[in-house]
């Protein structure tokens, strides 16, 4: 089942391009571009966001020419757009975590870098473990479908205000019990040695908390990707390209997330739609369709892509056209009040 979309030279080519791009930019980013704590400007964030969208699009084009053609390319783009949209909620939670721990702006880059690196590893485990289970037990897909419909309904009915309680996170509570945690960030370091003893800074706890919350979000995004395609390569590459652009999106949207308050509703529509799409493949539902004269009920990938794009686009446009009253009031407040 693994990589059933590609074969021979094309498989090696796409694997090589993906691996080189990810490894190269991780090395360049950490080792050459950012050698110390530095605040990312809005301009830099915009350039990086456009860059990662461009790179992700180019890879989708490569799948079109060297993979399985237009349908498989659409699967890639559908999974990519879905993951990108789901990342917005992730960005909001990361922002809350950083503000809760009063992390300085210049440390954001390194924290998000290691957070994304961890996401690359853990999501690979999630995706290939999921593919292995689905290969053995196909009915797991239907559990994914039910879970996505439930998640979509839950997200639709959730309050927009979100709170985090790091003191209740099992991972951070465990870390505080067994690791020596200092009270200082030591100039943006995560660990340091003093008098022969290894100490961990509060920034290390921030990374642990971000990693654990990313795993929670992956529980939604990965089943959503499996609802679009069962090809592990397409799922992983679309997922990771979306994650690689997450940090730039964070710096770009961190101060404007409240303006897209309806995006959450759009995401819920997407999750419900792809959950229903997955459940339609159940034999009992197919038999029900056959009773009304439909031999095989199936939503083509092109329509899936159109629905996903339409739901997200409309939610963003409506958020801009009909802003929340709170957003308007905050925008009229003098800047000096927030700076003091």
Tell me the two tokens of residue 319. Answer: 């958020």
Contact 222, 127 (CB under 8 A): yes
pLDDT per residue rounded down to tens, the chain (340 residues): 344 455 556 777 888 888 898 888 887 765 555 555 667 777 888 888 899 999 999 999 999 888 778 888 999 999 999 888 888 777 878 888 888 888 888 888 888 888 888 888 888 888 888 888 888 888 888 888 898 899 889 888 876 555 666 667 777 788 888 888 888 777 788 888 888 888 888 888 888 888 888 887 787 788 888 888 888 888 989 999 998 888 888 888 776 767 788 888 888 999 899 889 888 888 888 888 888 888 777 788 888 889 989 998 999 899 888 887 654 444 434 433 333 3
Strand partners, 191: 200
Tell me the two tokens of residue 84. Answer: 């990108």
Q: What is the DSSP string of 93-147?
A: HHHHHHHHTT--GGGHHHHHHHHHHHHHHHHHHHHHHHHHHHHH-TTHHHHHHHH
Evaluated on CA atoms 188, 98, 211, 260, the torsion sign reads negative
d(CA 120, CA 2): 18
């Amino acid at each position: 089942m693994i990589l059933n979309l590609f074969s021979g030279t094309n498989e090696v080519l796409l694997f090589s391009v993906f691996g080189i791009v990810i490894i190269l930019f991780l090395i360049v980013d950490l080792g050459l571009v950012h050698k110390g704590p530095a605040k990312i400007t809005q301009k830099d964030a915009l350039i990086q966001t456009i860059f990662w969208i461009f790179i992700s699009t180019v890879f989708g084009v490569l799948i079109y020419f060297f993979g399985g053609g237009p349908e498989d390319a659409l699967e890639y783009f559908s999974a990519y757009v879905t993951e990108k949209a789901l990342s917005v909620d992730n960005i909001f939670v990361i922002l809350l975590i950083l503000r809760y721990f009063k992390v300085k702006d210049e440390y954001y880059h390194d924290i998000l870098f290691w957070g994304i690196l961890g996401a690359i590893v853990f999501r690979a485990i999630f995706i290939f473990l999921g593919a292995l289970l689905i290969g053995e037990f196909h009915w797991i897909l239907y559990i994914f479908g039910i879970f996505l419909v439930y998640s979509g309904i839950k997200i639709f009915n959730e309050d927009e205000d979100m709170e985090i309680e790091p003191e209740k996170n099992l991972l951070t509570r465990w870390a505080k019990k067994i690791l020596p945690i200092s009270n200082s960030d030591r100039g943006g370091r995560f660990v340091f040695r003093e008098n022969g003893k290894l100490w961990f800074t509060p920034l290390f706890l921030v990374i642990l908390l971000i990693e654990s919350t990313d795993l929670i979000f992956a529980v939604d995004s990965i089943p959503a990707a499996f609802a679009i395609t069962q090809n592990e390569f397409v799922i992983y590459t679309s997922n990771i390209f979306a994650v690689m652009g997450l940090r730039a999106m964070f710096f770009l949207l961190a101060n404007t997330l409240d303006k897209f308050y309806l995006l959450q509703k759009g995401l819920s529509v997407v999750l419900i739609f792809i959950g229903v799409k997955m459940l339609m493949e159940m034999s009992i539902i197919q038999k029900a369709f056959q009773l009304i004269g439909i031999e095989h009920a199936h939503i083509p990938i092109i329509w899936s892509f159109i629905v996903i794009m339409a739901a997200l686009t409309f939610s963003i446009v409506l958020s801009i056209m009909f802003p929340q009253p709170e957003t308007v009031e905050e925008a009229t407040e003098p800047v000096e009040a927030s700076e003091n």
